[in-house]
Chains A and B, each alone.
Chain A
Amino acid sequence: MYETLWSFPGGVLGEFERLRRELDDVFGGSSGAPSSIRSAAPGAFPAINVGQTPNSVEVYVFAPGIDPAKVDVVIDRGVLTISGERASALPNVGVKGDAKTSVYNHERASGAFKRAISLPDDVDASHVQATYRDGVLNVSIARREEAQPKRITVQ
């Protein structure tokens, strides 16, 4: 299975690298500060990045290979929920037709997923846009009109 002892996948220190990276993700950013009660374990599919501009809240869901028509994006009482399903891409192994197929690596998650994010109070749930491009679902929620920054000119 491994050509030589030194061709161990990930290198001899690969496992340590993975452990360090996971600890980094958990503790690195906020040194053990409490995380959101709705946040998922590191490595959950799909990964989510949330950012804020003065006019909107932007949510990026990294979910390649899903059908955007089948994704549910719901905002209910200030909680944005994104749920959907990704079909498994693996061939039928061991079934008569595909008996000669072997699976070497199966890291990509498949199946149903659901992520929930609580939004700040000043968003306007009726002004939401969602676009799906290159495997990234971008949900943009505008802030309420009165919460957006306004420039006041001095006479």
Chain B
Amino acid sequence: MTNTSHTELQKTTPTSPTTPASAERSTADTRALQPRVDVFEDERGITLLADLPGVPRDQLDIKVDGETLTIEGTVATTTPDGLQPAYVELRVPRYRRAFTLSRELDAGHIEANLKDGVLNLRIPKQAHAQPRRVNVQVG
């Protein structure tokens, strides 16, 4: 019975176990919103689109720690001096979301593209995990 290659992509909450990298942030306010994502998979890999409005290229942090992919970004929209908020729907200027990758994904070859606040991540499958057609000889 073959195992179908459904890739597991799971979310962990922002308050999941702290990694060593976040130790220095533990005293700062690390509340963050989970950005909305679209995830789809095709034969060659997984595409992930994340809405990160207000995050410029230099405030985006994507890291893979073992099996965990973490996307983090800080909103850096310039505001004029003396701006008083009047109506605020987006209160937290930080996005963070983590995913667990499965072993058949090649985390070393992730391609990322950030344009107009949309992050486009392409995670290819390992070369050996891509579907292969087996030629059957009729003999």
Verify B53–A134 contact, CB threshold 8 A: yes
Which residue of B is nearest A110, CB measured?
B38
- With A66-B116, A134-B116 already in contact, the answer to whether A52 and B84 are too (CB < 8 A) is yes
| A-B Cβ contacts below 8 A, count | 144
| Known contacts A47-B90, A52-B83, A136-B117; A104/B39 CB under 8 A | yes
Task: Write the chain B residue with the least CB distance to A11.
Answer: B13
**Known contacts A3-B10, A65-B51, A135-B54; is-contact A53 B38 (Cβ 8 Å):** no
Contact B84 A51 (CB under 8 A): yes
Residue of B nearest to A120 (CB): B86
- State which of B56, B77, B89, B91 has its C-beta within 8 Å of the C-beta of A138: B77
**What is the minimal beta-carbon distance from A37 to any residue of chain B, in angstroms?**
13
Q: How many Å from the CB of A119 to the closest CB on chain B?
A: 10
The one of B53, B54, B76, B83 in contact with A51, judged by C-beta atoms closer than 8 angstroms, is B83
**CB <8 Å contact, B53 and A63:** yes
Q: Is A121 an interface residue (CB 8 A)?
A: no
Residue-wise interface mask of B (39-57) relative to A, using a CB-CB cutoff of 8 A (1 in contact, 0 not): 1111100000101111110
- Contacts A65-B116, A90-B40, A91-B42; A49 near B51 (Cβ below 8 A): no
CB-contact partner of B87 in A2, A42, A49, A108, under 8 A: A49
Nearest-neighbour CB distance to chain A for B80, whole angstroms, equals 5
The interface size bin for chain B is 35 or more
* Contact call A53/B39, Cβ cutoff below 8 A: no
Q: Decide yes or no whether B70 CB sits under 8 A from chain A.
A: no
Q: A91 to B40, Cβ gap below 8 A?
A: yes
Structural contact, A49 and B89, CB atoms closer than 8 A: yes
A102/B53 contact (C-beta < 8 A), A60-B77, A134-B116, A136-B77 known:
no
* Cβ–Cβ contact B116 & A135, under 8 A: yes
- Please report A residues at the B interface, Cβ cutoff 8 Å: 1-3, 7, 9-11, 14, 17, 25, 29, 36, 39, 42, 44, 46-54, 56-58, 60, 62-66, 89-91, 93, 98, 100-109, 117, 132-136, 138, 140
- The residues of B with any CB-CB pair to A shorter than 8 Å are 6, 8-13, 16, 36-43, 49, 51-56, 76-77, 79-91, 100, 115-118
